[in-house]
């Protein structure tokens, strides 16, 4: 399929996981891709892979929690490609901590990246999306819809992303911009496999956030994202789409 032909898609968190899969899928469907991540080496490898496959990509390092870095990132993408048609906000961190022992620094780090970073990038790119009747897909999580043991900061950040996205969808619908969330669950990525758990963690609570069909790779989420930012999603806005194998069924 070439649903994104002649489109420019900016993907954050493109260095790994769902972000990387989304960048590759957008390129495969015809888009030029601005690949954004804090990991410059991972971006270079991704951009090289896209170019070798016949696509067009820009590797743009960025700390999405830093306002000046976000401004420079969006400016570089517009300078390279002439505009932006869609934003896929997948950058994020996952940290577990006993809520009663969580430090303010631990809390703030998750909020700064997952929630504030999503706001900063979205805010900066909105003029482009208004001009091109563009689309936003943000990364929420099943953690936004159900309790996550020892994951209060992560769940709060993703609940915030979900509410933020719904607000953007309403505020900008009449200006031609669509905004949706994906809520992945039980997806195998570097972020989910490399976490540390506190000693107080009760692992008997974890099966309630496990999928009925087993964990899947990030490509199952990237396919949904490609649909949402394409014309196939033209009448979808303000939605949170679970990609979780029946986790919350």
* CA nearest to 221, candidates 142, 159, 110: 142
Residue that is written with structure tokens 């570097």 in the block: 190
Q: What share of the chain is helix, strand, coil (3-state, %, to 5)?
A: 50, 15, 35
Active site residue 172: no
Taking CA atoms, 165 is separated from 1, 31, 73, 139, 210, in Å, by 27, 23, 21, 10, 25
Taking CA atoms, 109 is separated from 95, 158, 225, in Å, by 9, 13, 26
From the candidates 47, 70, 113, 154, which is the catalytic residue? 154
Q: Hey, which residues are catalytic here?
A: 154
């Amino acid at each position: 399929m070439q649903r994104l032909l002649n489109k420019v898609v900016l993907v954050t968190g493109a260095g790994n996981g769902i972000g990387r899969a989304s960048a590759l899928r957008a390129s495969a469907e015809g888009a030029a891709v601005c690949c954004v991540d804090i990991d410059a080496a991972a971006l270079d490898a991704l951009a090289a892979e896209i170019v070798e496959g016949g696509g067009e990509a820009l590797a743009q390092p960025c700390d999405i929690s830093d306002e000046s870095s976000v401004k420079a990132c969006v400016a570089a993408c517009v300078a390279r490609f002439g505009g932006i048609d869609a934003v896929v906000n997948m950058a994020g961190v996952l940290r577990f901590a006993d809520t009663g022992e969580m430090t303010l620094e631990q809390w703030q780090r998750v909020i700064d990246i997952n929630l504030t970073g999503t706001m900063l990038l979205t805010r900066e790119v909105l003029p482009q999306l208004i001009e091109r009747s563009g689309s936003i897909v943000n990364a929420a999580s099943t953690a936004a819809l159900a309790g996550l043991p020892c994951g209060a900061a992560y769940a709060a950040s993703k609940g915030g992303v979900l509410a933020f996205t719904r607000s953007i969808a309403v505020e900008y619908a009449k200006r031609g911009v669509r905004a949706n969330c994906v809520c992945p669950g039980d997806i195998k990525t570097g972020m989910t496999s490399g976490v540390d758990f506190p000693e107080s963690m009760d692992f008997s609570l974890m099966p309630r956030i496990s999928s009925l069909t087993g964990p899947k790779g990030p490509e199952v989420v990237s396919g949904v994202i490609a649909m949402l930012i394409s014309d196939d999603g033209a009448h979808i806005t303000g939605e949170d789409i679970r990609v979780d194998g029946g986790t919350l069924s």
